[in-house]
Structure formats: structure tokens, C-alpha cells
Chain A
Amino acid sequence: MAEPIKTDVLIIGAGPCGLFAVFELGLLDMKTHLVDILDKVGGQCSELYPEKPIYDIPALPIVTGQGLTDALMTQIKPFNPQFHLGEMIESLEKIGDPLFRVTTDQGKVFEAKVVVIAAGGGSFQPKRPPMPGIEAYEGTSVFYAVRKMEQFRDKNLLIVGGGDSALDWTLNLAPIARRVTLMHRRNEFRAAPDSVNKMRALVADGKMDLALGQVTALEGEGGQITAAIAKPDKGDPFKIECDTLLPFFGLTMKLGPVANWGLNLEGEVIPVNTESFETNVPGIFAIGDINTYPGKLKLILSGFHEAALMSQKASKYVNPDKRIIFQYTTSSSSLQKKLGVA
């Protein structure tokens, strides 16, 4: 097992609430590591609406999702949070009182005195196309991500989609695969124009194929696909022989492994108390969209409030002998020192 990374607090989710938790925890002298399944910080704000305005952040009459994320990153910089992006927490076990061992899908291990779940709507996971029986092929001949390109050497690939993921992997895998076919529902692509031009050049040179249509069914057996059946906009369905399918239809939110950590759940959310936003497991907190309590509103501003109260209780676990003196950043020289402005 990898050498564990020891931290006061592990925050699961680097959206606005997870980021602001770094600030509130930091003011109370707690060090933080954050893990997020996305390859960037900001959660839904940067994944779903980076350019869209938000109007209900106190004192910011208008701010974009990306603007809010950038401002939070500036605000928490003095606390030097450590980010682990593109990783999903797979397992969490209690090994002390409280102390948790938390493992990511990349094999990274953390030991944290406190865990804060700030995972919003859950983890962003690839959309699964509604093709009958596709589950049986997943992980053997249907893949939603490329971890190791070598895995696809000499394969007969069918890549589906019209965005950057589909185009990037088409261009990267075309030289090593036996054959690549890119399928998209229309002859226009939202991916970066440069990638689209490169793809069209490969097609013109006969080095790959482009097919216009939508996959409706898969053929194969024993976890191994042999062909995909597709439907064009007009005309008859057609068949494409392939041994590997890579569908790229964007992301959707799923609760994911959180469901297996022994926490009480109400549907897709985690009930917490409203004094400290702690779950039924002492030392594990849930803030932001992923929690629920009487009167809960899924607002960023509510998550900020939850982060502040959570930090008070978290401090009792991380620094049990320390008495918290309530202070304002405006006037406290000790807080200002932590912020690097004293």
C-alpha cells in the first residue's frame, strides 16, 4: 500500500463549498487536502456554468462560475491547500477515534482526523449511452476514459462523440490503433476547430474513418463487442465492425461510492445536524448540496455558512486541547497573521 498522506482534514470535492471550507478550517489552524474527480477545481461552477452569471452570492451582485472559483482560490491561498484532481475517493474506513483511512481510485491513501464531504451532486461520471446490454461490455471492450493509451494498440476502435474528449482521443489513438472510426450524430463538431481540422485531414488521407449517425445497439458476446449498429439521420441503419467502443457524451452526477461508507442517507443526500453539519459518523461532516436538514436550501451561500460552523466542531477533533477564541478577521492580529496580511 502507498505511504499514507497524513492531514488534519480531507475535503472530498473542490467546488465552492469545499474551497471555502479550506478558509474556515485554516483560520482555526487546520491543514487541508482536497480530492476531486474533475481535473479542475470549482465543481459545478467550472464544469457546468463557468461563463454563466450567479446573482445570489452576498456582496457580489454578479459573478460567473469561473469568477467565483478564481476568487475563492485567491482567498484560500494563504492556507496552502493541497489538491488531488482527477481522482475519486473509493473507500473510507474508520481506524481511530476519529481517524479515517481514505483511498482514491488511483491508489492514493490519506489518513485524516476529519473528513468533510463537499461533493455537491455527487461525482461527475461519464454518461452511459442507453444501449441495451452495454453494462456487460464495460471495462472489457467499452471504456469511458482512457487511462493508458497502450491498452488500445492494434485495436479496432469506435469512438463516439463530437466534443474535445472524442476528438482528442481520436487524434491520439489513430496512430497506434489498427483502425479508428469516429462517429458523431452530425457533421459539425463542438470540439476545438484545430482538432476538427486535424481529424478531417486524417480522414482525407485515408488514415481513419468518420461515420455520421447514432449508435443504437451493440453486437458481441462474453464481454467482447464485435460491432455497433448505428442509425443515420436519414436512411437505413448500418453496422460498424469494432472490438472497442469509447463513448464520450459528457458527464452526469452520481452519488457514487459515498453510498458505501456507512453514512445515513436520505435518497441521494446525507442528513446532518444543523449545529455542526456532522453526519451520523462522528468526524465525518457533509456541507453544501450533498447534505440535507430541515429547511435545507441548495445555495452556495448556505454551503459557506455550513463550512464555518463545521470548522468549529472539526477543531475539537483535530486540536482537542485548543480553546477556540471567537475572532474577526477585521481586527484580530492572530487571524491576520494566518492570512499573511498582518
Chain B
Amino acid sequence: MPKVTFIEFDDTVHTLDAEAGATMMETALQGGVTSIVAECGGACSCATCHVYVDDAWVSRLAPKSDEEEDQLDSAFDVRPNSRLSCQIKVTEELDGLVLRTPSYQGR
């Protein structure tokens, strides 16, 4: 089972078993990452599961859809490595992925 790491804005580290086929947002909620809010439950409609992808991993993820890019407009402090974690599917290849959460989210 791939392992992924969420590093919250306050440096809390969660290394979690991720089930292939689930989304990173679901993995985070299961693992108690409280700065992933996921208000809309994974419909790509709220931008409250915003994460920053570790630089080493940005190009290894499937690219953003137009829908995800549009939805990022309602996030804050958006950076080139910004993603919505509900739109990243867990695969075996993502073993070791590191995601960080923005400081404003979940507070």
C-alpha cells in the first residue's frame, strides 16, 4: 500500500497508508489531517482541500483538469504547485508523495 505524507501548516506530520483508487482528500480525512476541510465532499466545488505538492512530485502527478484550475480560483495563496487533494487519485506510483497544507485552511 502506498504511503503518503501530509505536512500541515503548523508542521504536524501525518504519514498515512493510502488506498489505491481513493483520493488524497479521502486519505487525509481518514488520517485525521484537520487542515483538509473538504466542505463539498469531493465534488471539486469548494477548494477547501487545497494542498501544495512537494516540488519533486509536481510533474509526476496527472495534470490538473480545467475544472480543478477554475476551482483553485476560490482558494487563497495559490502557487504553481497548488492542487485540490480531492482531484489526486492514489496510485502505487505515488508511494512517498509529500503534500503540504496552506496556513489559512481549516481555521
Contacts and interface: CB of A to CB of B under 8 A. Distances in A.
Is B a genuine binding partner of A?
A: yes
Contact of A161 (B43, B48, B69, B73): B73
A48 B103 contact: no
A130 interface: yes
Dominant SS at the B interface? loop
A48 B70 CA distance: 14
A242 B46 CA distance: 28
Contacts of A253: 39
Contact of B76 (A49, A188, A233, A249): A249
A44 B46 CA distance: 11
A163 B40 CA distance: 18
Nearest to B105: A130
Contacts of B78: 185, 214
A33 interface: no
14 contacts: A48-B39, A49-B45, A127-B74, A130-B104, A161-B73, A163-B74, A188-B69, A214-B76, A214-B77, A216-B77, A233-B80, A250-B73, A252-B46, A252-B48
Interface in A242-285: 249-250, 252-253
Interface residues of B, number: 18
A131 B46 CA distance: 19
A162 B103 contact: no
B47 interface: yes
A136 to B, nearest CB: 17
Contacts of A52: 43, 45
B76 A163 contact: no
Contact of A185 (B39, B45, B46, B73): B73
A287 to B, nearest CB: 19
A233 to B, nearest CB: 8
A252 B75 CA distance: 11
Chain A interface residue number, banded:
20 to 34
Nearest to B45: A48
A44 B103 contact: no
Given A48-B39, A188-B69, A249-B76, 12 more contacts: A49-B43, A52-B45, A121-B39, A127-B74, A130-B103, A190-B70, A190-B73, A214-B76, A249-B75, A250-B46, A250-B74, A253-B39
Closest 5 CB pairs of A and B: A130-B104, A250-B74, A190-B70, A49-B43, A48-B45
Interface in B73-94: 73-78, 80
Nearest to A44: B40
Interface string B42-80: 010111100000000000000000000110011111101
A48 B41 CA distance: 9
B43 A249 contact: no
A52 B45 CA distance: 10
Given A190-B70, A252-B48, A130 B77 contact: yes
A179 B43 CA distance: 37
Interface centre among A163, A185, A214 (most CB of B within 10 A): A185
A216 B77 CA distance: 8
A249 B76 CA distance: 8
Given A49-B45, A130-B104, A249 B74 contact: yes
B20 to A, nearest CB: 21
